[in-house]
Each structure stands twice: as structure tokens, then as C-alpha cells.
Amino acid sequence: MAKKKIDNSNIENEKGIISLPLEELMGDRFGRYAKYIIQERALPDVRDGLKPVQRRILYAMGDLGLWFDKPYKKSARVVGEVIGKYHPHGDSSIYEAMVRMSQTWKLNMPLIDMQGNNGSIDGDGAAAMRYTEARLAKIAGLLLQDLDKQTVTFAPNFDDSEKEPTVLPAYFPNILTNGSTGIAAGYATNMPPHNLGEIIEAIIALIKTPGTRIDTILAIIKGPDFPTGGIAQGMDGIRDAFITGKGKVILNSKWHEEHGNIVIDEIPYEVVKQDLVRKIGDVIDNNQGLGIREVRDETDRQGLRIVIELADNANVQTVRKFLFKNTPLSVSYNYNNVVIVDKQPKQLGIIPILWAYLEHYKEVTLLKSKFDLNKAEKRIEIVDGLIKVMSVLDEVIAIIRASINRADAIQNLVKSEIGFTEAQATAIVDMRLYRLTSTDIVKLNEEKASLTTQIAYLKLIMNNEDELNKAMIQGLREVKKDYAIPRRTEIVEIVENLEVEFKDTLVEKQFHLWVSKDGYIKAIENNLIAKNEMNTFGRKPNDMWITNAQVSNLDHLLLISNVGTYYSIPLYKVNMSKWREMGMHINTLATMDGNEEIISAFIVSDFAQSTQQILLTTKNGMIKRTPIYDLETKLFTRAFKLMKLVDDDAIVSASLVSSKTRRVVIITQKGYGVRYNIEDVPVQGTSSKGVKAANLKDDFIVAGKPLEDEDDVMILTDRDNYKRLDQNEIAIFLRPKRGMRLFPERKRGQENILVGFVVNNNDVVHILDENDDYKELIINDIRRQMVTSETHDSPIKGIVNASLEKDYIVTNGDVPPESSSSIEDGEAYVSKAAKKAKNQEIREANRGKVTAKITISKDEKAEAEQKINAELPSLSSMLGDISSVLGNFTPQKPKEKPKPKPAKKDDETKNVQLDFDDLFDD
């Protein structure tokens, strides 16, 4: 069945339907909504410091008679009153606003006294409104005082059935005392609480000296004063906030040291204590080396108390700074003093806010005085009439008795010769007979005298600015006397530097570390080693360990990969592993490519003192030395370049060069070996490719190792054979040479070297076979052989890989032999520190210098433009001409030129590329 089509052609003529562009409609509706939430919901009025919902709650409670000295009433009763009469919104928003005004950790001066569970600083919610009871706090009476004296404007409520005040009289500066926070459309406010006594003194200073400057105000109002106390740091931020309405202060917790532990006494404003304790616990869990045993919340009725128990050797100040930096023990508070002024949102500094309140206070005082004056004048008129009656009592009685009714009696008294006013006549008619006694006449005379004095005083206030100021100052001083409290928040001028090296926060811990070829790092507690057997030691299948060392969590781990990069990992970031686990992969801490293998690992305790070097040898025959102190990094999450590799080259050896190193041995796959003096290997930076290590012909290097005097050379071949050589069996040449054979060639089949080591009697070679079994060769059991001797059969078959598990622990201050290699063999080495110092020197030399200024007049510029326009065609025509020319062009094959003979040092010139590495700082 076909769908019925709807005809919309005549929709505009339908009754009650208005056609409007969507953009216009949405803009108009959102504008109305934004205006409403700005003026009537989210932002406080500068005069009484209240949002509409707060004002309505307080007014409704005052209307219900819930004053501070009256019994409590159920909160649900108050919420119902507010919803029904003034605020037709959800009950939860009203109750939440009501609860917040009762919380002592949110407001300096709570406006509501709530009985029952009204939440806690731990972030607990208040009990349901049916369970709690509330009444106005004593100071809230100052906000509502004199509402009945026509001091403020009233407006109809939402259904015109009630009247509500548009602002409260507010006999104390609530806007600054309790602060405010809210988010509207395009506006937000975030005003901190301040000390009531200081605010009142600042207002008095403005009354006495209208031109008071910000410095004077800052001397009176020290800064924010939070109900939770704490320490506010940064006078510059406070000054900015007081001047512009925007500024930033740092809030720190108050603490003290107790028996070597950190005890928190006060926390920053609006920080949830329970969340804070949990975050401190998370920091402890994620940083086991901090030296923190536990964190305890010992808060009770006596006050807040959080104990952070430290280890005996922990540094209190360092740990405190680290915790303050990484937890809400220290937070920033951003001033944003946006308030409603004359129905408009404005961002104000503290002096305009004080003036706005002062103008309101002055207006309320004048309106109150006017009301009291009118009341006093009406009363004294009546008192005069009552006193006058006493002298003509018989005549008054006669007139009243002759009258028909009350109204006639009033009219007869007014028309009589005695001369009563209508108000006096009404009071006389309504007066009881006992008032005619002589005692009452005395009271009337006393009342007249009092009223005369009051009227004179009120007229003086209304007509004399100085008297008005005195009255306001007196009222403010009474408020300060009754309600002011000592400052809770300490103000510190300078923001404390919480920067601390994480390493300094650690308590040193010793443990064993294994590093594997595939990038697994395994940390084991020392006490577990004696309790377990090595045959149950967890390892990734077909992976093998290359390093085993006793280390400290304060050390750094340098990992050298085969692709010419290195990783610098603080060992405190390495988690402890269980005995049977594989350990954590380096990708947990940094990013390692899948084609990378770890060649060597080095333990560094202090980069600045690490003068030893790493000898790097590549498969295609390049070699260099790089100082370890050049490998310090600030980032630990990625790899850094260690050596520039060309084509398919890869690093095959990375070993430690110390002051005891005398020679270097190069071992090739096809069985050749050569020794050089260590001085013959240049020292180069991380961006260099090194120099030629050996003349290779259809061969590549499997090892390039540094030699000390007592070291031997050990090789394993692809035929599962091995051989131990005295290093002196290998000839010393000047680099680069192919060297000599390390064992005789076989007549049948070729025997290639699989791995090569530099060993001594204390070493053990760990071998991985094709069955993934881990076996050992003890060097002390293997005798030395001559170069001319053949390799020995190994008891281990199917050798896949081997490792010494060398513990390359860098010794501070140990200086290797200097390089005697000429600069022609490679670029001259300049350390990173020297480069930075040189660049800094150049920057300092050029500081303040500018290039010569070239001035071109307008006439010269116009003349040049005319010449260009006259001589050149348009850009499009030029592009068209070029395109046509290129389209007709047929390239010819160039004649082959004879290849030039290679230079002697072709290895250094055949691969030419631009190198920008020195321009970047790792």
C-alpha cells in the first residue's frame, strides 16, 4: 500500500503556525535561555552575594520563622515551601543548595544550621531531606534583617501569587566573606571566601577614604581565607585578582613532622579528603621506592589528621615535595570574580566589589532610616494627641459619648475646637481607659522625648553624609565584634618550588637484574635467589639473557640495540618480577620496534661522572668509541640515536672501555681476527657513523671487543665447536686490516664463527641450543690453543646463540686512554656539554644585536610595483607558457660518462648525505 503524501504547501496559512528561519529561532531562544541562567540561576548578585535559589531559601525560612533561636524544622518542609512559592524547579537542586549553605568546610560563615547528616569533607552526600532538619544560622539574620522596612524591592513570584525580594538587605558583605562558584552560558564565577573582619575593615577604609588604593586594601585584606585553612602562596596572583578579578594562587596543605613522619593538619579548599588519601596511596603504589610505608586517615572529632608514615632513611622534605607536586596536597585556585551588577555580568576587582556592596549598604541604611523616620513621626503625632487628651479629658469624653459610632466619634474629634488630627482621633477612640492614669502620662512624655531624639538623629543621617558614614561604620563594627573570627589561611608571598628530582625521593634498594636479547627486563629481590633454582627461572622461549647484575633502584639502565639506538631507563621504573615470570618488556616503559634486539646493557649510577666509553662495532665494519656521559637523556619513553648506520648495517657489539683497556679485537664471520691499539679507535659523538674497523671481502664482523692485559679470546662456530685463544696469538696491525685466520680452514665445508667473546677464567658462557635449552661452558675448564690449532668439538649440539651475561657496571671517574686517531678518520669529537656551552656563548655574544634597518619610501615602493606590472605578464599566463614549453620538450638520453676512479678513501665519500643531527638536542 502506497504511503499517503502530506501536503505542506499551505502550511504557512494554517492557524497558529509561524514560519521562522531556524538560525533566527535558535538564536532567539538560546539568547533568552542564556539571559535567564546568567541573571536568575548561576551567578551571584554583588550586593548580597546570593544566587536566586539561595536567596529564596533564606527568605522562605525567614518567612517560616526558622530563626536561630527557634526550633528546627524538617528540611523537606523548607524545600516544599521554596518550590511551591518561589522556585519551581527540582527539589534536589534546592536541597543541595540548602546543604551547601550549611557546610562549615565550604563557607566561612554558614548561613543555615542543619541538624543531621549534611555531608562531610570526605565527599559523603547529605542524608535525604526527610531526615535532616534546619533553621537559619544567627548571621543569616543580618541578611534578612529589616526586610519589613521597605529596604529592598519586591517582585511577583512565578505565578504572581506571592512577593519575593529581588535582593536581601545584607548587613554584612556576604559576597566576599563566603565567596561563590557557578557556571552560566558564556560566564563562570569562582570567588574564594575571605575573612569577615578584614573585609569589614576594608569597607570602613573606603568609607573614610574614598580614594583608597589597592596597596592599602592589600595591607588590610591579606588574601583569601578558606574555611579549610591551608597555605595560600603567591602574592602576585592575589594582587592580580584584587585588581582585575582574575588571578591564580597556589593552595598548599599545612603539615608538620612527627617522629620522622609527615602529618597533614589542613588540606586545600574543596579537596575531598577521601580522594586525597586514595591518590596518595596510588602514588605510593606506583612509586615503591619513595620510602613511604603507608598513609593513614586519623581524622576524628579533634580535627583533620592524615599521617604519611616514612621509612627510617627517607628524606622528609624531598618526599613531601614530591607528594605535594603529584597529589592534591597542593592545588591551584583561579580567581574569576564574575558577579551580577545592575542585572549584567561583570568581572570586577576587589575595590569595585567593595564599592558595589557599600552603595547597596548605604541605600539600605537610607531606606531603613526613612522608614523609621516615617514611623517615628507618625508615632510622635499620636503621642502628642494622647498627651493633649489629658488636659481636655472631659470634653473628649463628652464628644465621644455624643457620637453615634466609632467613625462618627473620630470625625467629631477632628472637627472639634480642640484640633486633633485624624490619626490622633483614631488613637484616642481606640485607647483603653487604664491609659488615662497619671503613670501612663509619664511614660508618654518619656516616649515623646525619645521619639524627638530619634527623629532628629534619623533626619541627621538622611541629610548629612558624615553622619550617614558614622552610622554605617558603627553597624559594621558591631557585626565584626559579634561575628568576626581569626584568619585560618596563612598567606605566603612566594610560591614554593616543588620541582624535585624523582630520584632524590627514592630510598635506595638493591636487587638483581636480568636483561634479555628480546628486550625483557627482570628484577628479582635478592632474598629470592637463594630460595629458588635456576632451572625454574622464567624466560621467554628462544630468548636469552645478555646481562645479569646486582643493581640499585637509583641507577640507570642503558640498553644498546642492533639498529643503532639506545634506551635510558631509570631502574626505579622497573617493577619487581616473580621468579617464574618472564619479566617486563621494555615496551612497558619505552617504545621498541619489533625488529630490534638488545645487544648490551650498562648500569650507570651518575652520568656526569661516567667518563668511561662504549665501544661500538657494526656488521659492515665500522667502529667508534662514545663517552657514556653523552648518553644522558631527560626522556625515558623512546629510543635515541647512538650511531649512524648506512644501508643494512647493524651493531653487533657494544662493550665497556675503561682505563684498563689496551687493545681491541675484531672477529669476522669467516674466521679472521685482528687486534688494534685502543688509541687507534676514535672517540665520536652519537650522530657519527664511526671509522673503518677492518677490510672485509664477502665477510662481516661478528664481534669487536675491548681487551685488557689478562683477557683471552673465545669463539663459537656454526659447527658447534669452540676455541679459546691467548690474545697475543692475534697480531696487532694499524687499522684497518683484514687480519689473520683464527683457525685453519677446513678442507671439506666451511666453518663460520657464530659469536666471539673476550673472556677470563672467572667467566661462564651461557649457550642456547635449538631445543631452547639453556646450558653453560665454564671458561676455566677450557685450555688455550694456538692460532694454528683447529677448533674443539663442543659437548653442546645445535648452538643457536650464546652470551656471557656480562655485568657492564660503569665506574665513575675512570678515564679510558685517549684517541690518537687523526681527524681525517672521522669528525673531531665535541661533547654535548661543550656544544651547549658554545651555543650559549654565541647567543650571549649576539644578545641585543640587530641587523641594519633598511628603509624604503612609499614613492620607491610604488615605482618598483609599476615596473614589475609593466614588464611581467600575469602569473597565469606565465604558468601557461611554461606548461606549453614543457609539453613540447622531449628529453634526450644523456651520454654515458666514464666512471671516475675511486679515491683512496672511498668508504668515507661514496655515501654522501646531509646530517642534521647536530642541530637537535636529544
543 and 518 Cβ atoms separated by less than 8 Å: yes
- 844 Cβ contact list (under 8 Å, min separation 6): none
- Cα–Cα distance measured from residue 117 to residue 771, given in angstroms and rounded to the nearest whole number: 69
Name the one residue in this structure whose C-alpha cell is 563562570.
188
Give CA separation, 212 vs 7, 218, 236, in Å: 72, 11, 20
Neighbour count for residue 71 (Cβ, 10 Å): 9
724 and 713 Cβ atoms separated by less than 8 Å: yes
- Cα–Cα distance measured from residue 457 to residue 903, given in angstroms and rounded to the nearest whole number: 112
Phi/psi of residue 876, nearest 5 degrees:
-65, -40
Distance of CA 491 to the CA centre of its chain: 22
- 708 Cβ contact list (under 8 Å, min separation 6): 658, 660, 661, 662
Distance of CA 788 to the CA centre of its chain: 69
C-alpha closest to that of 557 among 514, 594, 613: 514
Name the one residue in this structure whose C-alpha cell is 558564556.
186
Total residue length of the chain: 922
ω into 894 cis (within 30 of 0) = no
Evaluate the CA torsion angle 41, 44, 48, 49 in order and state its sign: positive
722 and 714 Cβ atoms separated by less than 8 Å: yes
Cα dihedral 80→84→85→88 (10° resolution): 110
The continuous run of DSSP H or E covering 156 comes out as strand 154-156
DSSP codes, 802-863: EE----EEPPTTPPPPPP---GGGSPPP--HHHHHHHHHHHHHHHTT--PPP----HHHHHH
775 and 766 Cβ atoms separated by less than 8 Å: yes
653 and 703 Cβ atoms separated by less than 8 Å: yes
- Cα–Cα distance measured from residue 521 to residue 582, given in angstroms and rounded to the nearest whole number: 8
Specify which residues 208 forms β-bridges with.
none
Helical pair 350-389 and 196-208, crossing angle rounded to 10 deg: 80
The continuous run of DSSP H or E covering 79 comes out as helix 75-85
Instruction: Give the three-state DSSP class for 695.
Output: coil
- Cα–Cα distance measured from residue 210 to residue 457, given in angstroms and rounded to the nearest whole number: 24
DSSP codes, 270-338: T--HHHHHHHHHHHHHH-GGG-EEEEEE--BTTB--EEEEE-TT--HHHHHHHHHHHSTTEEEEEEE-E
Burial of residue 695 (CB within 10 Å: 0-12, 13-18, 19+) is: middle
- 315 Cβ contact list (under 8 Å, min separation 6): 291, 504, 505
The residues assigned a catalytic role are 131
